[in-house]
Structure 1
Amino acid sequence: MDATGVDRRVPARLVLATRDGQLPGADLRVYQFHSHQTQVPPLRDIAVIGWQSRAQIALRCGAIRSRAQMSPGDFSILRPGYESTWQWSRGFQATVLYLNERRFADFASEVFDHHVDSVTIRESFQVQDSVIHHGLFLLATELRRDEFGAALYRDALVTQLCVHLLRHHAESRLRAHRHPGALNAAQAQQVTDYIEHNLDSDLCLSSLARVAGLSQYHFARLFKKRFGAPPHAYVQRRRIERARHLVLHSDMPLKEVVGVTGFCDQSHLTRAFRRAFDITPAELRRSSD
């Protein structure tokens, strides 16, 4: 059962949900649970559950037969393929990150620079992990805001969470070493040209990595090494620099500047401008007349 199937099955109000393709290889949900129990068929994906409210939770799933008082900051990490039975003492809210198991294994190959025979997530009923807590909070916040550069930033957050899960909550069987390549001058030029020609689009890490012919993980690491900033920060900087150039050197209305530089709306452009230059676009244009 995938995330959409869980949405239909559990006694909960859906507070937040990713759209199709919004998080490649993953889905995120925020549920407000009511009732006091539910049974869920075997999941297709790895489930990372962040508890946001206090509640007494009992779970039977695979090797887990446990009951505990969950508090904000606690997490459960479940492997796919097992039916689960849940009981709880009171209504509560939880954030669930569903990770596609095949994508997770492919990601492990990219991270370890090796071919990976298998990746086994270590299931846990109650664990404290500040990195997961912070990562899920930022991811949910970014999905609610959906500002410019959101796709790249979401990709970066999912990457961080996957790396952390691989390091601390999974076991991998590795094969031959993989050679990651390098972001050479030609690749760098191709990527920057692609960015310049697509600033009005919601650029994502997968599309930039594809231009360079690298995995997402290696591309992000090598890009930062070459340009001194992660891809999402570089793209945001280029958008604000393009907007500043158009404000100073063209008569283009500000609402059109928003469209050609990839900002969500004029208020986003104004906030970004003020953060970057301590002045609004309108004030800059008036001062240059």
Structure 2
Amino acid sequence: MHTTPRDDYHTICYHESGASTRREGSDAVLTPGTAFLQPAEDEGVFNSDDLVDYIHVYLPIAAVENLADEIDTRTASYAEVPVEFGCRDPELTRTLAQHISVIRETPTPSAIEYDEWTINIGMALLRYAVRAEDDALVGAARSSLTPRQMRDVVDYIEQCIATRITLADLAGLSGISQFRFMRAFKAETGFNPHQYVIQRRLARAKSYLRNSDQTIADIAYDVGFSSQAHMTDVFRKKVGTTPAKFRQIMRE
């Protein structure tokens, strides 16, 4: 297998299953549950004796460099993050495996989910980068949201529930970075921004199902789900039943 570089993305190669893999010029072996970082400028040739299942996670260089600047790590550039071939760092591996599982279970991810995935995986990389000197990231100061900032964010979500909501939209209302907003919002509400938006969409959908004769498809679009199937899937996971069954129970 030959991989070619990307101009504006680094690639995390996560070996999910299959035969062991060797990279030309390296003595290390990539086995299931291991990973490595392929920098944007890097080209690689990999050899395996049999089929291999890889997951490639493409992270924008600029996004993770901005993360490093925000939290004041001694990792000045994302290009310096040394994820070795065959890396078995527990936190990085766990983060990748968890996010890959969630991604596979989310056929229609929202913009805010992509934003959160980028930050969470980027944070795992940066923790790996400073592991030799620090158990935690340097200078990752906690941010907080004022009551006015929280009102602005909550009001925006309620008003724009049917539209595409991004992490940048929400962080912009509070005047802090996306990374700091994620931390502050969760500390305030107990939910990640995406989880909170989903909860509000479900609450609005339940109200429509109880009190209106709209079709389920129309309700799904009116509360910001990409389709009726998407809302039904979320309903099953979060409520334990389908929208149609929920409406039936509420009207009996």
Shorter-normalised TM-score: what interval? 0.7 to 0.9
| 1:158 correspondence with 2:118 | yes
Write out per-residue CA displacement over residues 197-239 of structure 1, whole angstroms, 9 at most, x where no aligned residue: 2222242222221222211110011111122211111111101
* Aligned residue runs from structure 1 range 101-120, under 5 A: 101-112=61-72, 117-119=76-78, 120=80
| Runs of 4+ displaced beyond 6 Å | 177-180
Q: Which residue of 2 aligns with 1:46?
A: 10
- Say which of 38, 52, 57 aligns to 1:78: 38
Distance 2:145 2:218 in 1: 34
| 1:217 correspondence with 2:179 | yes
Which residue identity does 1:199 align to in structure 2? I
Which residue identity does 2:59 align to in structure 1? L
Distance 1:227 1:149 in 2: 22
Distance 1:121 1:115 in 2: 10
Cα distance 1:238–1:164, how it changes in 2: closer, same or farther (>3 A)?
same
* Aligned residue runs from structure 1 range 163-242, under 5 A: 163-170=123-130, 182-242=144-204
Which residue identity does 1:98 align to in structure 2? Y
Query: What displacement does 1:122 show?
Result: 1.2
Cα distance 1:42–1:206, how it changes in 2: closer, same or farther (>3 A)?
closer
Which residue identity does 1:57 align to in structure 2? T
Q: Which residue of 2 aligns with 1:100?
A: 60
- Say which of 128, 141, 150 aligns to 2:88: 128
Q: Which residue of 1 aligns with 2:214?
A: 252
- Say which of 27, 39, 55 aligns to 1:67: 27
Cα distance 1:127–1:277, how it changes in 2: closer, same or farther (>3 A)?
closer
Distance 1:269 1:56 in 2: 40
Under a length normalisation based on structure 2, what TM-score does the superposition of the two structures give?
A: 0.79
SS, match of residue 124 in structure 1: coil
Query: What displacement does 1:130 show?
Result: 3.9
- Say which of 87, 91, 112 aligns to 2:51: 91
Under a length normalisation based on structure 1, what TM-score does the superposition of the two structures give?
A: 0.70
Retained in 1: the 8 A contact 2:29–2:86? no
Distance 1:281 1:266 in 2: 9
Query: What displacement does 1:66 show?
Result: 1.2
SS, match of residue 194 in structure 1: helix
Cα distance 1:39–1:194, how it changes in 2: closer, same or farther (>3 A)?
closer
Deviates more, 1:238-247 or 1:90-99: 90-99
Retained in 1: the 8 A contact 2:31–2:86? no
Query: What displacement does 1:76 show?
Result: 1.7
Query: RMSD of aligned C-alpha atoms?
Result: 3.3
Query: What displacement does 1:141 show?
Result: 4.4
| 1:261 correspondence with 2:184 | no
Write out per-residue CA displacement over residues 146-187 of structure 1, whole angstroms, 9 at most, x where no aligned residue: 45663333332332221121112358xxxxx79875311221
Write out per-residue CA displacement over residues 13-65 of structure 1, whole angstroms, 9 at most, x where no aligned residue: xxxxxxxxxxxxxxxxxxxxxxxx536458654332111234353324xxxx3
Greater strand content: 1
| 1:288 correspondence with 2:251 | yes
Unaligned runs of 5+ in 2: 132-138
Write out per-residue CA displacement over residues 106-147 of structure 1, whole angstroms, 9 at most, x where no aligned residue: 1112234x7974452114111113433343344444444545
Distance 1:81 1:56 in 2: 24
Cα distance 1:259–1:68, how it changes in 2: closer, same or farther (>3 A)?
same
Distance 2:53 2:239 in 1: 40
Unaligned runs of 5+ in 1: 1-36, 172-176
Greater helix content: 2
